[in-house]
């Protein structure tokens, strides 16, 4: 099989073409957000929100509304709970996030145990990209394209907010509004990614691309570009891997992102040791 046939063959099927397009959009949106999360030190927040949406998915299923509505409501509920507890206690933010997301995730598991015969836990946790419906695909592409556009348009405001809140306040920026706008965008991204990579794997897509880019460069505009390239490449390659090797699409995407991170980390480590060795030789 030549390279052209290898690339074109899967795209002859509508479900595969849809999966590739959706995975690209999800990958790009998650990559953009991941850079800000890494800069702000909020990686655990993405973890907290993604786990907290599980009861929302189950409740939405029970009352017969779209999963995304229930998931988004519970994502916002988690954000509000974290904010309220942080404001009124001296407990550190990471501990509060851990308490909130584990409690809400446990609630989701309890609810799922009551409807075991009619809801697929694996689908909710790990996504089902190749089986995504046309309606869900349109919703995901539309919402996450809008999220990506908003992030790019207001990237400088988000950058100042994530880098130095005190400076942002001193120059007259409405930090509280920016704070909640960013959290809402994060919640929309997580709920929009549910049917592609699921609750568990979206965490990696919100952390790994930005972390990989941070290893390569400290210039934020370049960091955004590298993160998007890494994420989109992993999304497309993972989708093809799921077609040719019959493996989990979300799992393949996240596994490739992890492999790229480890390769970059290994290269940076070796390069640092070589530079140190050269410097020692020059000094001696």
DSSP string covering 39-108, please? HHT-HHHHHHHHHHTHHHHHHHHHHT--HHHHHHHHHHHHHHHHHHHHHH--S-HHHHHHHHHHHHHHHH
Provide the CA 170 distance to its chain's centre, in angstroms: 31
Report how far residue 230's alpha carbon sits from residue 253's, in angstroms, rounded to the nearest whole number.
10
What was the pLDDT predicted at 114? 79
pLDDT (tens digit, 0 to 9) for every residue of the chain, 284 residues total? 678 888 888 888 888 899 899 999 999 999 999 999 998 888 778 878 888 888 888 888 888 888 788 888 998 898 888 888 887 888 887 888 888 888 998 998 888 887 765 555 566 666 777 778 888 888 889 999 999 999 999 999 999 988 888 888 888 888 888 888 888 898 889 888 877 777 778 888 999 999 999 999 989 999 999 999 999 999 999 999 988 998 888 889 999 999 999 999 999 999 888 888 888 777 76
Which residue segments constitute the domains of the chain, with CATH numbers given?
A: 13-283 (1.10.3470.10)
Of the candidates 82, 58, 80, the residue with the CA atom closest to the CA atom of residue 69: 58
Report how far residue 82's alpha carbon sits from residue 94's, in angstroms, rounded to the nearest whole number.
10
Q: Which residues contact 53 (CB under 8 A, 6 or more apart)?
A: 70, 71, 72, 74, 75, 78, 190, 191, 194, 199
Of the candidates 19, 30, 235, the residue with the CA atom closest to the CA atom of residue 129: 19
Q: 262 in helix, strand or coil?
A: helix
Task: Scan for tokens 């988004």, then name that residue.
Answer: 72
Helix axes 134-153, 155-163, angle to 10 degrees: 70
């Amino acid at each position: 099989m030549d390279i052209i046939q290898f690339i074109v063959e899967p795209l002859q099927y509508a479900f595969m073409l849809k999966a590739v397009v959706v995975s690209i959009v999800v990958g790009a949106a998650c990559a953009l957000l991941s850079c800000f999360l890494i800069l702000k030190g909020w990686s655990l927040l993405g973890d907290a929100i993604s786990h907290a949406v599980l009861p929302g998915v189950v409740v939405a299923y029970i009352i017969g509304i779209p999963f995304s509505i229930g998931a988004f409501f519970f994502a916002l509920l988690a954000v509000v709970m974290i904010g309220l507890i942080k404001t009124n206690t001296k407990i550190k933010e990471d501990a509060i996030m851990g308490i909130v997301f584990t409690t809400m995730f446990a609630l989701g598991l309890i609810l799922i145990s009551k409807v075991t015969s009619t809801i697929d836990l694996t689908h909710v946790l790990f996504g089902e990209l190749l089986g995504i419906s046309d309606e869900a695909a349109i919703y995901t592409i539309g919402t996450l394209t809008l999220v990506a556009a908003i992030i790019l348009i207001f990237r400088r405001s988000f950058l100042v907010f994530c880098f130095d809140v005190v400076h942002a306040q001193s120059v007259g920026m409405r930090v509280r509004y920016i704070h909640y706008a960013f959290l809402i965008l994060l919640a929309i991204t997580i709920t929009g990614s549910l049917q592609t990579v699921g609750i568990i794997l979206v965490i990696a897509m919100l952390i790994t691309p930005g972390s990989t880019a941070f290893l390569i460069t400290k210039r934020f505009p370049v960091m955004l570009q590298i993160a998007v390239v890494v994420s989109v490449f992993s999304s497309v390659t993972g989708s093809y891997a799921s077609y040719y090797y019959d493996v989990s699409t979300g799992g393949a995407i996240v596994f490739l992102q992890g492999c790229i991170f480890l390769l970059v980390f290994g290269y940076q480590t070796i390069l640092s040791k070589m530079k140190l060795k050269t410097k020692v030789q020059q000094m001696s």
